[in-house]
Structure 1
Amino acid sequence: MRRIFFVLCLNFSVVLAFAQVQTGKASFYADKFDGVTTASGEKYRHNKLTGAHKTLPFGTRVRVTNLANNQSVEVVINDRGPWVEGRIIDVSRAAAEQLGFVNKGLAEVKLEVIDPGDGKTSDLGRPIDNVMVEEKEFYSFEIERLTPKGYGVQIGTYQELVNLMRLTENLKNSYKKKVTVQVKVMNGVKYYGLILGNFNSRAKAEQFRADILPKFPDAFIVEYNRK
């Protein structure tokens, strides 16, 4: 397996089509993220009714219903995520309290788009899982090949570059850390590992990993120059 690292910097705009209803698991932001800049540029506030979704345009208002107790709340999408498989939305702590799942941490929910705002399309009715991105998506790159030393924290591994690009912007805005991409070739297939930070000690990398575990429970330490 070859190990190649790049620094990836990008800016982009996305045009999306989306549906009205989606079901899946919801989680909520840890208190330590209060004040952190979201992907939309707004700061996360735990007492505001906001949420993170992978694809819905910023400003979309959705009704979230906890299927276990039928409690509902309306939130405005202003961030990207969640990036854990099976989860469809991260909500603020205030929203999680209204939904009644703060103690459990997760809830099975239904999302309903009630105000698509500027993202409104004529494609309402298709499942969100099948969301399509139009051919109007542009990226600018500044890429530098690296031979890094020290340690980083890997968030995930991706095959689709477009998923990598979307997440990169969110991570840069939220954590103010250098984002490094490791190219892995396994059995002739390329994979892209997304790594945050360049720490000079494992202890510092472990501390950062502990800070982000509430949002990225599968994150792990990478030693850049390990053979």
Structure 2
Amino acid sequence: MRRYNLVFALLIIVLMSGCSTMNKLNPFPQHVYSSPSTNKATKSTTAYDPKTKPYKVLGVTYYPLKSASGYDEVGYASWYGSDFHGKKTATGEIYNMYGLTAAHKTLPLGTRVKVTNLANGRSAYLVVNDRGPFVRGRTIDLSYGAAKQLGSVNEGVIKVRITAVGTVPATVPAVNKTVVASASKAYHVRVGAYSQRSNAAKVHNQLKQAGYVYSRIRQVESNGRVLHVVQAGSYASRDQADRVLSRLKKAFPSSYITS
């Protein structure tokens, strides 16, 4: 009997030793713990200076320069006038076509620039208070007053040198809705449609020289024919389009508005 008791005692000791070993290898076999902080994604936000805040126009995002220091570029300048007179610029200021201002895609708002007409040597000091021009090949858009000082009103587009010379305070920018009108809500002033692109190009050039710097040529297909449609511009409201149409009717009596 004592022999059986001894065997039983040894068996209990072995079993207890095994449980102790299991607990050392995996003390919590039924639970997996992780720190909640390791599963949370950390979000970072970037604060932009209002003068250099990125913006989107016609599906393209533009990232302005953080500083205009050292900016010196040769490019092409157009000008914009009565179509935008009295409307808000990208800084929130009211555009005065007779003032000395300019629109630029990437210079910080409030940048003061010296613009020189390379054809005649005339210069003007302007303040960038708007965005644009959103036309391929154009570097800067001048106010009518600036174009007049540079002697480029009749030429429409000129080659210029743009040099940053300082800065002035600029307010929080707001997107220029006249220029950036979405295609689905815009009113287009259609001047004409031509089967020959060369004819459309002549009319397009006339519009640009008259100050309609956002005029364009669109190629469309109608009844199996390819037409080159000339538009004087796209506008956010019907009233704006009507005013432009009334000015164009004398030179282009067949003009009308589409949307």
Q: How does the TM-score come out when normalised to structure 2?
A: 0.47
Q: CA deviation at 1:171?
A: 4.3
Aligned pair count?
Answer: 142
- 1:22, CA displacement in angstroms? 0.7
Instruction: Please say if 1:114 is aligned against 2:112.
Output: no
**Structure 1 residue 206: deviation in Å?**
3.8
Inter-CA distance 116–197: structure 2 relative to 1 (3 Å threshold): same
Note the C-alpha offset of 1:57: 1.0
Hey, which of these two has a bigger chunk of strand by percent?
Answer: 1
Separation in structure 1 between the aligned mates of residue 75 and residue 179 of structure 2, nearest angstrom: 27
Of 175, 178, 189, which aligns to 1:170?
Answer: 175
- Structure with the larger RCO, 1 or 2 (CA within 8 Å, 6+ apart): 1
Matched with 1:85 is 136
Structure 1 residue 221, shift from structure 2 partner: 9.2
Counterparts of residues 195-206 of structure 1 (less than 5 Å)? 195=183, 197=185, 205-206=188-189
Cα distance in 1 for residues equivalent to 2:89 and 2:159:
24
Paired position in structure 1 for 2:66 = 16
Secondary structure of the equivalent of 2:175?
A: helix
CA change 1:37–1:62 in 2 (3 A) is: same
Query: In structure 2, what residue type is equivalent to 1:217?
Result: S
Q: How does 1:32-51 map to 2 (within 5 A)?
A: 32-51=83-102
- Rg larger in structure: 2
Contiguous gaps of at least 5 residues in structure 2: 1-47, 55-64, 193-203, 221-259
Paired letter, 1:16: K
Q: Cα gap change, 1:207/1:36 in structure 2, threshold over 3 Å: closer, same or farther?
A: farther
Report the Cα distance in structure 2 between the residues aligned to 1:110 and 1:88, rounded to whole angstroms. Answer: 10
Cα pair distance change 1:205/1:90, threshold 3 Å:
closer
**Greater helix share, 1 or 2?**
2
Alignment of 1:187-226 (within 5 A): 195=183, 197=185, 205-206=188-189, 214-218=212-216, 220=218
Distance 2:138 2:180 in 1: 24
2:88 and 2:217 map into 1 onto residues whose CA distance is 20
Cα distance per residue 1:77-122 (max 9 Å; x no partner): 0000011111111111111011001011111000000004579xxx
- Is 1:103–2:118 an aligned residue pair? no
Deviation at 1:58, TM superposition (A): 1.0
Aligned-pair identity in percent equals: 37
2-structure distance, mates of 1:175, 1:88? 16
Residue identity opposite 1:170 in structure 2: V
Cα gap change, 1:43/1:208 in structure 2, threshold over 3 Å: closer, same or farther? farther
2-structure distance, mates of 1:94, 1:30: 9
TM-score of the aligned structures, taking structure 1 as reference length: 0.53
* Cα shift at 1:20: 1.9
2:76 pairs, out of 1, 13, 25, with 25
Mapping 1:83-162, distance limit 5 Å: 83-117=134-168
CA distance in 1, matches of 2:154, 2:213: 16
Report the RMSD for the aligned CA atoms in angstroms: 3.5
